[in-house]
Amino acid sequence: MYSRSASPYQNNNGVRSLINPPTFIEYKRLRFLIVDAPSSNNLPLYITEFERWNVTDVVRCCDATYPKEPLNERNIQVHDFVFADGEAPPSSIVDSWLQLIEARFGKQGQDQPSDQKLPCIAIHCVAGLGRAPVLVAIALIEEGMPSLDAVVYIRERRRGAINKKQLKYVENYKPRSKSQCILM
């Protein structure tokens, strides 16, 4: 049954929350929050979630639907890694993505006090089902997870993620990091 509330962003208790919940992905030193695209109207709800997860960066894989300033005011950096809907990312976007991951998670754990909250990167496309999960899959592969395992890991947490064309790209993706071990 449809429940009427004062706002489309309220649950039955009247508490404002996101319509589509974020998906937390954690693997080894990496922490990501996959979301759908915020709008100017609901950005405060996303900011609340981002602060809850200690988000330090937001990656937009689609055209901007909200201003950067409210996030920047909270020391959350916004990065525009825009590429075509339903497609695999171009090499330049992958390069920028991997640089961000290295900058945010590179020496994590070695120099941080154990009581400090770990950083998290929030990432979104329009629905959070294609472009954003593909970039997260690339990060997991770079961290040592087999490509198809990365897709399954993400899909278990975010149903419908990664289309057939993107799956083929992820399946054929070769890690660029030098830390990968090759057994012969």
Residue 170 CA to residue 174 CA, distance in Å, equals 9
Catalytic residue IDs: 85, 125
Please tell me the pTM assigned to this model.
0.81
In Å, what is the CA distance from 62 to each residue of 6, 36, 47, 110? 30, 10, 18, 34
Alpha-carbon 85 to chain mean position:
16
pLDDT score at 106: 85
Q: What is the pLDDT of residue 17?
A: 67
For residue 73, what are the contacts with CB-CB under 8 A and spacing of at least 6? none
Burial (CB < 10 A; 0-12, 13-18, 19+), residue 126, is middle
Q: Which two tokens stand for residue 180?
A: 């990968």
Write out pLDDT tens, residues 13-37: 445 566 778 889 999 999 999 998 8
Rounded CA gap, 102 and 91, in Å? Answer: 16
Per-residue confidence (pLDDT) for residue 112, from 0 to 100: 54
Q: Which helix (H) or strand (E) holds 171?
A: helix 164-172
Domain ranges in the chain are 23-170
Identify which has the larger pLDDT, 160 or 139. 139
> For position 107, what pLDDT does the model report?
63
| Those residues with Cβ within 8 angstroms of residue 22's Cβ, 6 or more apart along the chain or in another chain | 33, 34, 35, 49, 53, 122
Tell me the CATH architecture of domain 23-170.
Alpha-Beta Complex (3.90)
Distance CA 146, CA 36 (A): 26
